[in-house]
Each structure stands twice: as C-alpha cells, then as structure tokens.
C-alpha cells in the first residue's frame, strides 16, 4: 500500500509530541518556587548551587570536569564563558536566566541548569 503525505493519524501523532513538549515545559516552570537557583553538575553530581536572585555582582569560577570550563555568574543569569572544547556548543547556549533552561558542555561532562528555589532549599552557596 502506498504511503500518503498526510493521514488523520498524523495529526494525533504531531499533537501528542507537541503537547508533551509544551506540557513538560509548563510543568518545569510552574512546579518550582519563585526563586531561581542555578545548579552546576559534573556527570550527574552536583558541583555547585547558586541562588541567582542574591547575586549582586558578576564573578566567574572554573569547574574541573573532563575539561576545565569557566562559568560566569551575574545578576542577569549564568553562562558558560569559555571552554577548551572544540565545538564551543556550551558557550553558544548563551545566558541562562529562566527556569528549565539548560546548557551543556558534552566534552567536559558539565551541565548548568536553572531550577526553582524549592529544589535546593538551604544549600545555596
């Protein structure tokens, strides 16, 4: 049997995928408290937790993953400043300042994401 360009089932497939994605995004931004906490992880282990709302001035720190990456924190948000990796995807993610945003440096095994404050109460540093 020939496969047509579009059948009714396609609409359900596309909507299912789209709605799952949108629902997951909404859930991430709604389920967490008001504050914004940046979580820096190396291969799934938390390296550093920063309360972004209490950051007053810009500073940088390095994370020794498989490669040594430099991360910049400012009142505006958090970003990968530089990395010795070849593709620099992590830097391309740019500034993270909304809950649910993630930036990853695959070669270094380091990730940064923004969580709500509830998830990391009391361990900000």
Partner 1 sequence: MKRGEKVALAGMLSAFAVASGALESLIPPLPFAPPGFRIGISNVASMTAAAAVSPLAAFAVAIIKSVFVLITRGTTAFLLSVAGGLVSACVTVLLLRFARGKVGCIGIGVASAAFHNLAQVCVYSLIIGTAAFWYLPYLLILGSFCGALTGILLDLALRFISKRDYAP
Distance from C-alpha of 122 to C-alpha of 125, rounded to nearest angstrom: 9
Do residues 96 and 103 make contact, with C-beta atoms less than 8 angstroms apart? yes
Count Cβ neighbours within 10 Å for each residue of 50-83 and write b for 16 or more, e otherwise.
bebeebeeeeeeebebebebebbbbeebbbbeeb
**Interface with partner 1: number of residues (CB under 8 A):** 38
Find the part of the chain contacting partner 1 (CB under 8 A) among 56-64, 67-75, 108-116, 117-125: 108-116
Instruction: Tell me which residue of 23, 21, 46 sits closest to 115, measured CA to CA.
Output: 46
Which residues in 19-78 contact partner 1 (CB under 8 A)? 20-22, 24-25, 28, 39, 41, 43-45
> By C-beta, is 38 or 73 nearer to partner 1?
38
Q: Which of 53, 59, 98, 102 binds partner 1 (CB under 8 A)?
A: 102
> By C-beta, is 73 or 103 nearer to partner 1?
103
> By C-beta, is 32 or 35 nearer to partner 1?
32
Distance from C-alpha of 25 to C-alpha of 39, rounded to nearest angstrom: 18
> By C-beta, is 48 or 89 nearer to partner 1?
89
Nearest distance from C-beta of residue 62 to partner 1, angstroms: 18
What kind and span of H or E run contains 116? strand 110-116
Rule CB under 8 A: say whether 122 interacts with partner 1.
no
Distance from C-alpha of 47 to C-alpha of 111, rounded to nearest angstrom: 10
Which residues are near partner 1 by CB under 8 A? 1-7, 9-10, 13-14, 17-18, 20-22, 24-25, 28, 39, 41, 43-45, 87, 89-90, 92-93, 100, 102, 104, 106-107, 109-111, 113
């Amino acid at each position: 049997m020939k496969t047509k360009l579009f059948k009714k089932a396609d609409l359900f497939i596309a909507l299912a995928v789209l709605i799952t994605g949108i629902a997951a995004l909404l859930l991430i931004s709604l389920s967490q408290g008001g504050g914004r906490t940046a979580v820096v992880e190396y291969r799934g282990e938390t390296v550093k937790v920063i309360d972004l709302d209490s950051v007053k001035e810009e500073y940088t720190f390095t994370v020794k993953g498989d490669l040594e990456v430099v991360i910049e924190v400012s009142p505006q948000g958090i970003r990968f400043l530089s990395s010795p990796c070849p593709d620099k995807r992590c830097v391309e993610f740019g500034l993270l300042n909304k809950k649910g945003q993630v930036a990853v440096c695959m070669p270094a095994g380091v990730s940064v994401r923004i969580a709500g404050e509830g998830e990391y109460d009391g361990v900000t540093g």
